[in-house]
Structure 1
């Protein structure tokens, strides 16, 4: 597609559908080739006639596709990426910056000398941190698209679902090869784990999708073999070696179901593809990469240790760029030395037998292990790195050159920066001395064995997380933390109790610590440490239920729990994760409240007509009314959901997200100041008697947020001062105000309480079931009449029973695990989010 006649090529396919995009379920947008050509022409004209360097951050959406094709049509050189890191921007100083189709910076003239053949810059498949880019020409792109379209026999009736991002060369090659032949694209950001992905795949009659090895793992997890996909014609796999047994399995599965399985081999330096294994050869030769793509050929060059595979073809890059001066270079290579040792079988197929250099291919990234070790050495760490096929394993000497103690978490984060891998793919073991052979060389098999020998505790913790969060055990790595995995306040108490039985005394920040950093420690001599938020939840629900039942009257606990909810939101949702991940975590937590509430309200409406209304089922009573006693029973859950979603959406906005990450406490304090306006001014939105039970009480939620982010004494003093200044006089009932002040003060100053073990066990059980106890008690306690103490016990028991039932249901149904896109979502999206967070996308490409 990408050449000077892009518009002519697009217009040549007329009213044929080019793109189907489903930004929202059930709302597809279809764009014909003629419409796409018009949009590309308009975008190209907007860029003007001057040839410039364009940095384009792209997603799988129509605007990004139009911007990409429009920039190429305008004759510009496109630096295509998922997120423009500060390092990449500083190194190449692009003339134009386009963010998902929107021009955000535009220099009228180019500051660079650009070679006339240069069209596209992509991160290198072998880069581990530097802004080293692959220089590709329009001829490279066209040649590779033509060869792929030829051996896949792509025709106008084909439609490929974009399971890989546009900015990765493998995903981009899918786009090029289909647009070249007048086929169409199903543009989607959805994961193959999402049922909506397959609904769209069937509804829009997609005929193919691309996979990396991890995608195949995910397909196994969701029962892909049993799926009915009548229009599926073929599946392609690249991005790393797939085990021969699985190649054979998928080839046979395809043959049975009527589709073909293409294993492919390539590098970004060859514009994506160099070889493919014909499906009919997969059963007998699943360990081979196959034959060269049309137009290309291989030679084998003798080197130490064997023969290196060298590729020749029109899709071989112009060369590398390490800085802006290189953008003016002519072709610097004619053949690509792959770095792979290979042989040719008697059947004429090529087989990879090793590597010349120490590379690992993990999660679709090719990682130079030698460079990782070198970067660690520069940072003062003496390390040895290897891999086990699924993780990068690093053994680091316990003392650095500066004699500072090595911290596994910090080391893992540094390796993530250097390698481009998510921390989920990194295992760090700290040792007194690196294992060595008799020759003095590093014993890399022993390094791999260290990780295996120290994994028992990791496995214990991983199993607890997997069970509590309903996640597949194999998807959890030692680098994950409870917060990373989507843990929230609803699952926190259960996990904490189980961890203490395995590990002993837990550090207060255990939810944020990777599994690898959680070590067994001696148990405390007296009792157990009970998290303050857990204690407050247990006490609060007892006070709320007891007061409603009229066993006693101690009011104010609901507002303490609102602050506890904000406290836990700050701990579990306002993490270091990317913005999208933060919102995803919040959405999952809200669903765990909203779905049971809606179901119970619906049941109650049948059982007790008139008790609740449809507004309650939608958690909108506090917005839509009516204002009566029973309809207002669930005010706390409604306000909790409103506050949580509003705060999550706020920090989804880039400007607020950056502010919160730079100054988490000051951001929380500023937001608290803003919401305190509602403490003093109701804006006449609610009658005076209803204000404290309405969304106007949101400042309690934000107060809890500020308490969680107050990490120093003076910060806690500030939050305490706000508490003491704002609570008195708010309710007009002194006892209630005293309770609220004491409860939130505990949250501010006492992160954990030491209590007898039996008390801790009871508190954990009560706190864990607090949601269902609150939800059900309105219908339970009236059945006991004046037996108020028995009614309280029954409400707590009903909550515990409902909690256990729901937990068992979630463990037995697969959809729970499908909710976690961080672990089970499309792999390349996970990599992109991790890299965006670190601002280090440059130089790392899935291939």
Structure 2
């Protein structure tokens, strides 16, 4: 039985005569809108420049959600060249990429382009059973036909506005761009995560009518919250099987809210799409992938033992690839027969809809990797484990069934071997004990039965209780809260830099390497990364990746105290910490919320610094008679003498951080500034940092005789540039931030070594988000970084006892006293929170409040 799509004729190609759409918007970027006429002109210019390098080039393209990338791709495409779309430098070298576009200019490589088939236009990476690099060869006809088919069944028009929610080196994400360009529609280029509220704020502003997602996209939206888009008319889904109940729920939600859900099925080998489910059938047939796309044909090839009505799904259409390339010589091969054996076992329903039931080729696609299940079983068998492997029924994990009565150690050993054989994270391999491996009547492994083991209550129940509840208790302990809801995030709970270090390292030990945006993810979302059952034992590598701000905080406070105690003289650590403070301000205090909520957030954070500081310095003043009241109340920078004096200026760093945090927080809480900051985060921060350089240079030019390097008005640029570094996106932004920081560092302190240390520290902060760090030092580094405020406050009273006799002892004692003070404060805070909770006093709700710009204004 077959399912045939209606024929389609490609009237125009993806990039044919872009100017025919005139002044309609084509690409909407953060820096403005590019019309089709402007896009056509830029593509023509870039194409002509590329032609000067000669015909038949293999162009290496680095995918990015930018207008420059789109122009580069279309110029190579329309110029008759082939493009290799990849971030992998090794892959580009292996296939002999001959041209690359850098900084808006074409750059020829030292190698000659390989021989290319004249129809070849695009190479996309996939992987075979061995995991070796394999490229899908696509022609202009493949790309044009698939874009035309998608535009046809999605009924795209020039009024549509799509949002790039998927990477452009992924065939699905690229097909969104192609189909909309063909229809004369607009594409909003943005690479932010779907969990970032700013992405959806921009989508509302741009009037987005559609977005695309893979199953993981909808998992993220389920925890982060569905976006409110009044103009939304269509949501498309592909890239893996979405559970039928989820499809039905989304379709019904769309019916209520006025948008359609279109479930689709495809493979890179078919350019992007082979089938789609008409949206009106999503609620009634949520387990199917629908019918063939226009111009395509689907049918079943009988497979022995597959069952009645089940066969391998085969597709024919003009979008089927030219073939694979496994070495450069393959790039010259002619196109194949235009027929694709999908490797999926399927059947047709009574209504003629395709329903995928299993994989024939025993491959599982998990976490973007293609896993050869037979190879995994063979490797485990060589290790003495007779197991059965399958992809879980929900498509999220590798299930390994172990027969007999294996003990916990055996299960852990199998889990470790499975993750080693596949490269999957530990939580993605589910090891399940079974009395015997489930078999089909023909004696073969029952893959569907093994896959369902991952959904049984016994298999999915965590060995140590609910992971979300466990993580929620961890959050509550670290943040000093009586309770935490799993639907809240670190930022939403009012987390700040003082708690960030401890919590991030504790989470790392439970979850492995954390996603960069973990502070904005909910507890429940992070808990979903924890594997059920006992964790598989694994050998810890000698090195770990640690957040750069954590390492800088620990190193800086050690350098500060060591210099004061005369163990060494390495100055500049405090100024690096000012830039770190700016980064943390942007991370934790610029949440998308209303003005009042932002003021409350900043007030809570500054109180966590100001209260212990005032109490400690006040106690010291009562016992010793100094410093004066201005220093006790952290007002010396504002009200004290402008020249350095001791001990009045000892706590300058704390004062500057408080002034900058309060000032920046109150400034960005002003409704108009808040609205501007949401739309132009980097320009605002960079502009403020640049303006803050004025008093720093004015002091030099006027021979100012007061303290410059410790006063807030002269060091504000460090904090503000740290803020800019945190919101920088892309190389250009980072280059600009670095330029501002280096301009400020030049000759700033009057000591070249000190200036160089500050410059090195802030440059690392801008460019290196994580650093390799000896695993044995991760825990002590985290403790020192977490306690850095208390070490700074207390070391003035500790190190003088050791300064002349034992400088190293002064450093160690200062660190120990600071860590002890930090632990005492944490315990007191936890007890106070528990006491407040026991009195049933109302506690603030820390979930972020989402408001539109209109409400803010």
Q: TM-score under structure 1 normalisation?
A: 0.62
Superposition deviation, residue 129 in structure 1: 2.9
Tell me which residue corresponds to 1:39: 42
Work out whether residues 13 and 182 of structure 2, in 8 Å CA contact, stay in contact via their aligned partners in 1: no
Distance 2:501 2:119 in 1: 57
- Within the alignment, does 1:415 sit opposite 2:425 as a pair? no
Tell me which residue corresponds to 1:60: 65
1:412-561 to structure 2, matched below 5 A, reads 412=419, 415-416=422-423, 423=425, 426-427=428-429, 444=450, 448=454, 452=460, 455-456=463-464, 459=467, 461-464=470-473, 490-493=499-502
Work out whether residues 310 and 336 of structure 1, in 8 Å CA contact, stay in contact via their aligned partners in 2: yes
Tell me which residue corresponds to 1:140: 142
1:640-651 to structure 2, matched below 5 A, reads none
Note closer, same or farther for the CA distance 1:300–1:61 as it changes in structure 2 (3 Å cut). same
Per mean C-alpha deviation after superposition, the further-off stretch among 246-255 and 152-161 is 246-255
Query: Which residue among 746, 765, 768 is the counterpart of 2:827?
Result: 765
Q: Deviations over 1:607-666 (max 9, x none)?
A: 99987978961399997599999x989899979957976998999979x99xxxxxxxxx
Tell me which residue corresponds to 2:751: 681
Tell me which residue corresponds to 2:247: 247
Note closer, same or farther for the CA distance 1:634–1:764 as it changes in structure 2 (3 Å cut). farther
Per mean C-alpha deviation after superposition, the further-off stretch among 561-570 and 144-153 is 561-570
Distance 2:287 2:240 in 1: 12
Note closer, same or farther for the CA distance 1:64–1:807 as it changes in structure 2 (3 Å cut). farther
Superposition deviation, residue 73 in structure 1: 1.9
Query: Which residue among 615, 618, 623 is the counterpart of 2:664?
Result: 618
Note closer, same or farther for the CA distance 1:298–1:205 as it changes in structure 2 (3 Å cut). same
Distance 1:208 1:650 in 2: 27
1:129-528 to structure 2, matched below 5 A, reads 129-224=131-226, 228-304=228-304, 305=306, 306-362=310-366, 367-372=371-376, 385-388=389-392, 389=394, 391-393=396-398, 412=419, 415-416=422-423, 423=425, 426-427=428-429, 444=450, 448=454, 452=460, 455-456=463-464, 459=467, 461-464=470-473, 490-493=499-502
Note closer, same or farther for the CA distance 1:742–1:133 as it changes in structure 2 (3 Å cut). same
Note closer, same or farther for the CA distance 1:327–1:797 as it changes in structure 2 (3 Å cut). same
Superposition deviation, residue 15 in structure 1: 1.8
Superposition deviation, residue 597 in structure 1: 8.4
Distance 2:484 2:718 in 1: 26
Tell me which residue corresponds to 2:80: 75
Distance 1:434 1:45 in 2: 68
Superposition deviation, residue 240 in structure 1: 1.1
Q: Deviations over 1:260-319 (max 9, x none)?
A: 211111111111111111111122211111111110111111012131111111111111
1:8-23 to structure 2, matched below 5 A, reads 8-22=16-30
Superposition deviation, residue 91 in structure 1: 2.8
- Within the alignment, does 1:94 sit opposite 2:97 as a pair? yes
Tell me which residue corresponds to 1:820: none
Superposition deviation, residue 66 in structure 1: 0.8
Distance 1:322 1:29 in 2: 41
Superposition deviation, residue 199 in structure 1: 1.9
Note closer, same or farther for the CA distance 1:292–1:6 as it changes in structure 2 (3 Å cut). closer
Distance 2:729 2:16 in 1: 44
Superposition deviation, residue 386 in structure 1: 3.7
Q: SS at 2:192's partner residue?
A: coil
Note closer, same or farther for the CA distance 1:292–1:445 as it changes in structure 2 (3 Å cut). closer
Superposition deviation, residue 359 in structure 1: 3.1
Distance 2:721 2:802 in 1: 21
Structure 1 unaligned spans of 5+: 23-27, 477-485, 504-510, 522-532, 545-553, 574-582, 658-670, 686-693, 717-726, 770-795, 817-847
Work out whether residues 601 and 616 of structure 1, in 8 Å CA contact, stay in contact via their aligned partners in 2: no
Distance 2:841 2:182 in 1: 51
Note closer, same or farther for the CA distance 1:697–1:295 as it changes in structure 2 (3 Å cut). closer
Q: SS at 1:72's partner residue?
A: helix
Distance 1:588 1:698 in 2: 19
- Within the alignment, does 1:118 sit opposite 2:120 as a pair? yes
Work out whether residues 91 and 131 of structure 1, in 8 Å CA contact, stay in contact via their aligned partners in 2: no
Superposition deviation, residue 65 in structure 1: 0.7
Distance 2:530 2:266 in 1: 35
Note closer, same or farther for the CA distance 1:253–1:752 as it changes in structure 2 (3 Å cut). same
Distance 1:295 1:175 in 2: 20
Aligned pairs, how many? Answer: 666
Per mean C-alpha deviation after superposition, the further-off stretch among 211-220 and 299-308 is 211-220
Q: TM-score under structure 2 normalisation?
A: 0.61
Distance 1:466 1:181 in 2: 49
Work out whether residues 412 and 428 of structure 1, in 8 Å CA contact, stay in contact via their aligned partners in 2: no
Note closer, same or farther for the CA distance 1:395–1:737 as it changes in structure 2 (3 Å cut). farther
Note closer, same or farther for the CA distance 1:762–1:212 as it changes in structure 2 (3 Å cut). same
Work out whether residues 236 and 263 of structure 2, in 8 Å CA contact, stay in contact via their aligned partners in 1: yes
RMSD: 6.5
Superposition deviation, residue 138 in structure 1: 0.6
Distance 1:751 1:129 in 2: 53
Superposition deviation, residue 745 in structure 1: 3.9
